[in-house]
Amino acid sequence: MRGVSRQAISRLIKKGRLQVLRIGGKVLLSRAEIENFVPEQPGRPTNERIARNNQKAH
């Protein structure tokens, strides 16, 4: 992903926003996962985003 640091990608993986395949000590990220990635909206979350996040947690 151009313009995105390794640290940012690691955070996205830890949050579960990017699905990876781990083989040996390597972490593989599919092209489709990168192309389908939708960044979070910056700023204060709307009520809709809060409700959607709560549904994912349960």
pTM over the 0.75 mark: no
- Helix ranges (DSSP H) in the chain: 6-15, 31-35, 47-57
18 within 8 A of 30, measured Cβ to Cβ: no
Domain ranges of the chain: 6-57
Residue with tokens 């579960």: 16
Which residue would you say has higher pLDDT here, 48 or 21? 21
The predicted-structure confidence for 2-46, as pLDDT tens digits, reads as follows 778 889 889 989 988 899 999 999 999 998 988 888 877 777 767
- CA atoms of 21 and 19, how far apart (whole Å): 7
Cα four-point dihedral sign 45, 46, 49, 53 = positive
1 within 8 A of 34, measured Cβ to Cβ: yes
